[in-house]
Amino acid sequence: MTEEAVIAADDPVLGTDFVREMIRQIRAIDSYGVYDTASDMEVLDPLIMTKERKREIPVVGDPDEETLARVKAFYNAIAAQTEAECGKMAVPMVNISHEGFGRAIITVGKLVVMDKSLRDVHRFGFQSLSKMKDEADKLLSVATGIVGQYPEVAGM
């Protein structure tokens, strides 16, 4: 966590379903209790990658365990939202090499509803909370659209 807060306490995006799910996912993977006393803004703060923060991170690097956990939490939250919208179990699978390259997919039944190539994972983040929500909404919309298009495959 950094000293300067980039998320306002009154940000309306904090109350959205996706952001609430992100907070749940991050707190769920916090096995050491680091975020037990942290506010929602402090939990989400490492996901916000302002230009200044991005400048501090080297262009080439290996992702640390905390960053990998945030990537997995993001795609877990999208899968949970997909499952809530379509009523069928959505399973995220994230595979990232030690160099920060990989792939994230979400399946519903035998159907792949999201497939995203990952690069430079050590710099994973979003310019703002609303940009994170916009990206998630875009992925969620495509995923639920695919489930709606191929319900028989999703039901297998």
CA torsion 66→30→77→75, rounded to 10°?
Answer: 30
pTM of the model: 0.91
156 pLDDT exceeds 60?
A: yes
Token reading at 72: 């997995």
In a domain? residue 3: no
Q: Domain of 123?
A: 12-154
Q: What would the pLDDT profile of 92-148 be if each residue is shown by its tens digit?
A: 999 999 989 999 999 999 999 999 999 999 999 999 999 999 999 999 999 999 999
Lowest mean pLDDT of 1-10, 19-28, 90-99, 131-140, name the range. 1-10
In a domain? residue 1: no
In a domain? residue 130: yes
For the four alpha carbons of 6, 12, 15 and 18, in that order, the dihedral sign comes to: negative
In a domain? residue 4: no
In a domain? residue 92: yes
In a domain? residue 100: yes
Q: What would the pLDDT profile of 47-81 be if each residue is shown by its tens digit?
A: 999 889 888 888 888 899 999 999 999 999 999 99
Beta strands 90-96 and 111-118, pairing class:
unpaired
Residues 6+ apart with CB under 8 A from 38: 1
pLDDT of residue 1: 43
For the four alpha carbons of 39, 20, 76 and 132, in that order, the dihedral sign comes to: negative
Domains contained in the chain, number: 1
Q: What is the DSSP letter of 48?
A: B
What are phi and psi for residue 32, nearest 5 degrees?
A: -100, 0
Q: Which CATH number covers residue 138? A: 1.10.3100.20
In a domain? residue 7: no
